[in-house]
Amino acid sequence: MRLTQGFIPTIKETPNEAQIASHRLMLRAGLVRQTSAGIYAWLPLGLRVLRNIERIVREEQDASGAQELLMPTIQPAELWRESGRYDDYGAEMLRIQDRHERDMLYGPTNEEMITDLFRQSVRSYRELPKLLYHIQWKFRDEVRPRFGVMRGREFLMKDAYSFDLDHAGAVVSYRKMMLAYMRTFQRLGLKAIPMEADTGPIGGDLSHEFIILAPTGESQVFYDAAFEEIDYLARGAGGFRHDSAADLERFFREMTSHYAATDEKHDTVKWDAVAPERRREGRGIEVGHIFYFGDKYTKAMNATVTGPDGKQVHPEMGSYGIGVSRLVGAVIEASHDDAGIIWPESIAPFRAAILNLKPGDAACDAACAKLYDALGADALYDDREDRAGVKFNDADLMGHPWQLVVGPRGAASGKIELKRRASGERVELTPEDALTRISAGVDRRA
Ligand code: 5CA
C-alpha cells in the first residue's frame, strides 16, 4: 500500500486517555479509534493485525480437528432463560427488544446457542465427539472498560465448544484445546502459561487461563520458576499429536505438573510446598480461558443423544475462548520499545516499510518501485513528500519487522539500507539481497 493513498492516521503526541503502552501505541500508530466507551473502530493497519491473529487462531483450531461455523451476535432471550443464565448474567448483558417486543440480547458468549444447535441435529453417541468453533464479536457491558482493546465492551473472541459422550472423552477434548492454544500463542510470539483458574459465570469444575506475563496485566499470578526454565513451549508445540490420547495426556501433565495459579485460585498450602527460591509472583494478561463443565447446559436445556445401551444421555461439554482483539494489545505489551511497536513477523500488518527519502529523485523512485513491485501487499510504501526523520519515526512507531531505506546517495550506486526493527541492526546491500533476507522464514501459511 502507498502511504499517500492509505488511511493510517498516526498521532505524534501521547494521547492522555491511554494509561498503558499498548493502548497509547494503538492510537498513535493509527490502528484503532474509540467510538464509544470500550468500543473501537479498527482502522486498516489494526484490521490487518486482527485478521492475521484470526488466521493463526483459525489454522490451529482447524489443525486440532475443530470445525468452524458462524453464529449470530444477536440471540433470543428464551435460550438463556432455559439455562437459567438470563437473570444470573446481570448488568453485563446488553438486552434489546425487537419491534415485536421480543427479548433479545447481544451475545456475551454462546454456550446456550451451540447447545440448541446441537440438540436440534445430533441424535446418537456415534456422532460424537463434536468440536465446533466460531470467531465472532461479543458484547459485555463491563463496569470498567479500560486499557483500550484489552478490556473492551465489544470485542472479538474465538469460542469453541466440545460435546462428548462421557467424562473421559471430554477430558481428551479439553487437552486437545490446551495443545492448540499453546501452539497458537507460540506462533504469535507469546509465552503463555496455563494457570488453574476460577470458572466464574461459565460454571464447571476444571478450568485454565492462559496468561502472558506483563506488569500492566489485570491478574495477580503465582507460578513455579520451572515455567521460565523448561522450554515447555517448544515441546508443547512440537512432538505431541492431537489425535493421540496418550500424547495429549503427557502434554497435559507437562503443562500442569508445576504450580501456576491466578489469585482467585491461589492455594497457599500448595504454594508453601514450592521451594522459596522457585516462587514467582507477578501480573499477567489473560489471553485465553478454557472450561470443562460436564452436563451443566445439556441437562438444563435437555440436549440428549442415544448412548451405546440405547438410553438417552446428556453429553459432556467444554468451552474454550481466546481473546482475539485483546491479543492485539497483549502482543504490543509484550513487544514494544520507546519508539513504538515491534511486530512479530507472523502478524505484522506489513512485513516491510519502504522509505523513499527523496521522492522525485529518479534513482530513489526507481529503486522503490522495484522493491514495491516485488513485495506487493506485504509492503507499506512511504512515498510522502516529508522529512526523512518523520518517515523513520513513523516506521518505528508502526513497527514493521523490516525497513527498506532508500536514499539518493545509496540509490545512485545501487544500494539501499535494510533495518531490522527488533534489533535496530542496519546493513547496506543491493535491493535483491534485501528482498532475499526479508523473505526468509516467514510464518504465513495461508
Ligand atoms: N464461554 C467462555 C469460553 S468460550 C468464555 O466466555 N470465556 S471468557 O469469559 O474467559 O472469555 C474468553 C476470552 O475472551 C478471555 O480469556 C479474554 O481473553 C477475552 N475477553 C473476555 N472479556 C473481554 C473483554 N471485555 N475485552 C476483551 N477481551 C475479553
Task: Give CA separation, 128 vs 57, 300, 315, 316, in Å.
Answer: 23, 20, 9, 10
* Total domains, the chain: 2
Q: Looking at the structure, do residues 204 and 286 belong to the same domain, yes or no?
A: yes
Q: Which residues line ligand 1 (CB under 6 A)?
A: 109, 111, 140, 142, 151-152, 155, 157, 159, 202, 286-289, 291, 319-321, 323, 325-326
Q: What's the pLDDT at 343? A: 98
Q: Residue 179: inside a domain, yes or no?
A: yes
DSSP 66-115: -EE----SEEEHHHHHHHTHHHHTGGGSEEEE-TT--EEEE-S--HHHHH
pLDDT of residue 234: 52
Q: What whole-number distance in Å separates Cα of residue 29 and Cα of residue 19? A: 16
Shared-domain flag, residues 111 and 226: yes
**What's the confidence (pLDDT) of residue 231?**
61
Task: Say how many Å lie between the CA of residue 320 and the centre of ligand 1.
Answer: 9
Domain-embedded: residue 3 = no
H helices present in 288-398, as ranges: 296-300, 324-334, 362-375, 388-398
The pLDDT value recorded for residue 239 is: 78
pTM of the model: 0.95
Are residues 408 and 319 part of one domain?
no
Euclidean distance between CA atoms 238 and 404, whole angstroms: 34
Amino acid symbol at 216: T
Print the domain residue range for 317: 21-341
12, part of any domain = no
| 360 and 336, same domain (yes or no) | no
Quick one: 79 and 197 in the same domain? yes
Judge whether 10 lies within some domain.
Answer: no
Closest CA to 96 of 114, 76, 78: 76
- The residues, any chain, with a CB within 8 Å of residue 269's CB and separated by 6 or more, are none
199 lies in the same domain as 136: yes
Integer CA distances (angstroms), 70 to 73, 110, 160, 414, in order: 9, 11, 11, 51
Shared domain for 225 and 278, answered yes or no, is yes
**In-domain check, residue 9:** no
Measured in angstroms, how far is the CA atom of residue 371 from the centroid of ligand 1? 41
Is residue 7, in this structure, part of any structural domain at all? no
Stretch (H or E) spanning 234: helix 232-237
Do 407 and 328 lie in a common domain?
no
Domain boundary among 293, 319, 341: 341
Instruction: Provide the CATH number for the domain around residue 435.
Output: 3.40.50.800
Q: Which atom of ligand 1 is nearest the CA belonging to 201?
A: 9
Pair (386, 311) in one structural domain? no
Which one of 341, 368, 400 terminates a domain?
A: 341
- Sign of the CA dihedral with 216 first, then 219, 220, and 223 last: negative
Mark which of 306, 341, 376 sits at the end of a domain: 341
Give residue 57's identity as a one-letter amino acid code: V
Instruction: Give yes or no: residues 337 and 435 share one domain.
Output: no
Partners of 290 in beta bridges = 208, 320
Best mutation site among 75, 80, 289, 291 for ligand 1 pocket (most ligand atoms within 8 Å of CB): 289
Tell me if 362 is assigned to some domain: yes
Q: In this structure, what CATH number is given to the domain that contains residue 80? A: 3.30.930.10
Do residues 274 and 330 both lie within one domain? yes
Q: Is 27 exposed, middle or buried (0-12, 13-18, 19+ CB in 10 A)?
A: buried
**Same domain assignment for residues 245 and 293:** yes
User: Residue 200: its pLDDT value, please?
Assistant: 73
Instruction: Assess if residue 13 is contained within a domain.
Output: no
Output the tens digit of pLDDT for each of the chain's 446 residues.
999 999 999 999 988 889 999 999 999 999 999 999 999 999 999 999 999 999 999 999 999 999 999 999 999 999 999 999 999 999 999 999 999 999 999 999 999 999 999 999 999 999 999 999 999 999 999 999 999 999 999 999 999 999 999 999 999 999 999 999 999 999 999 989 999 887 777 666 789 999 999 888 989 999 999 888 766 555 555 679 999 999 999 999 989 999 999 998 999 999 999 999 999 999 999 999 999 999 999 999 999 999 999 999 999 999 999 999 999 999 999 999 999 999 999 999 999 999 999 999 999 999 999 999 999 999 999 999 999 999 999 999 999 999 999 999 999 999 999 999 999 999 999 999 999 999 875 655 43
